[in-house]
Amino acid sequence: MSLPLIAVDAMGGDEGVRVMIEGAAIARRSHDRFRFLLVGDEVQIKAALEKHPNLRAASEILHAADAISGEEKPSQAIRRAKTTSMGMAINAVKEGAAGAAVSAGNTGALMAMAKLSLRTMPGIDRPALAALLPTLGNNDVVMLDLGANTECDARNLVQFAVMGAAYSRIVTGRDAPRVRLLNIGTEDIKGTDALRDAAAQLKLAAGTLSMAFDGFTEADKLCRGDVDVVVSDGFSGNIALKAVEGTARFVADLLRRSFASSLRSKLGFLISRPATELLKHHLDPNNHNGAVFLGLGGIVVKSHGSASALGVANAVHVTARLLEENLTERITADLARIAAANRRETAPPEAAE
């Protein structure tokens, strides 16, 4: 079966072409039905492909004369979209030359370009940025929005829940992912009007959706493993995400400092090294790399700018899975069910005979 190309912004990220090409080559080992459109400086891409003949045989190169810097403002980046590797990769999705785009470049520029070029899919007012967080359970948790929308109403949050559940069904394999709204408490009376209204709408449509919705969760439960999708406005979600990431770094640095404090501690490190290596692997952002702009009229995946080749491979892996599992069609079907449930609830009662 022929699958659409994945466009890779080869110039994005802190290390640029070498890491992006190596990451795509690693990913192709698991997704050998895909072909790639490598966008960027043709000379540099060809040189990097010399070490990856398997990827070279499955790739096309689209030369881009320019690249977006990490410091460039979105408004400036948009004006240069037509000549930059990031803008040309997104345009390839818009024109149907590729099924999805992956970039490790400037997040604000990528979001602005993608929104302007691809627009939102029917039934979605605003796209949301979703990412996977590690948990104590057997699966990662999908969290959205992580910064694309600082203010959201109930309608936005409901749409985010639908998109997050569709994404979670792909990455976790659950038929009905456990979905919660991020709040300051789990009681029905807690939170803003938007949160309470969104919860009411999701409960109303629960019987028709492929999700298990049961109200609210708090930030200290994000990584416990008892929820599959956490939904928030972008302001709260971004703060919660950075708090989780900062805590993980704090714990890792504290352990490193403790183990180096004395000879006895160093001996303890040697004894406990298998456990600390497992912890390091679990907390390594490269193993959870690949944030997705959900709700656009095309699939766009953001890799960490500092991601290693393995991290880039994980971002490409996420992209391939979303294409293989028809994410857009899943979201469209669930939105139709939400709309039908709302119509039934608001329909006037039949006149008494």
pLDDT digits (tens, 9 = 90+) for 4-55: 889 999 998 788 899 999 999 999 888 888 899 999 999 999 999 999 998 9
pLDDT at position 349 is: 63
For residue 9, is it within any domain? yes
Q: Apex CA 63: angle with CA 57 and CA 295, to 5°?
A: 85
Looking at the domain assignment, is residue 340 inside a domain? no
Residue 239 falls inside a structural domain: yes
Residue 353 confidence (pLDDT): 44
User: Tokens in use for 91?
Assistant: 């345009």
Which range is most confident: 59-63, 146-150, 184-188, 240-244?
59-63
Of 294, 323, 341, at which residue does a domain stop? 294
Q: Are 102 and 316 in contact (CB under 8 A)?
A: yes
Q: Where in the sequence is the domain holding 90, given as residue range(s)? A: 1-121+295-307
pLDDT given for residue 275 in this prediction: 52
Residue scoring higher pLDDT (220 or 3): 220
Residue 87 has pLDDT above 90, yes or no: yes
Judgement on whether residues 288 and 301 belong to the same structural domain of the protein:
no
Based on the fold, state whether residues 133 and 272 are members of the same structural domain.
yes
Q: Residue 143: inside a domain, yes or no?
A: yes
Residue 264 has a pLDDT of 65
One domain for residues 234 and 218: yes
Say yes or no: 231 and 286 in one domain.
yes
Q: Are strands 299-302 and 141-144 parallel, antiparallel or unpaired?
A: unpaired
Tell me the pLDDT tens digit for each residue of 294-325.
999 889 998 888 888 888 898 898 898 888 88
Pair 133, 26 in one domain? no
Residue 349 domain flag? no
- Give domain status of residue 224, yes or no: yes
Residue indicated by tokens 């072909």 = 35
pLDDT band at 242, cuts 50/70/90? confident
Same domain for 134 and 106, yes or no, is no
- Asked if residue 328 is part of any domain, the answer here is no
If asked whether residues 157 and 284 sit together in one domain, one would say yes
Residue 226 included in any domain: yes
| pLDDT given at position 271 | 61
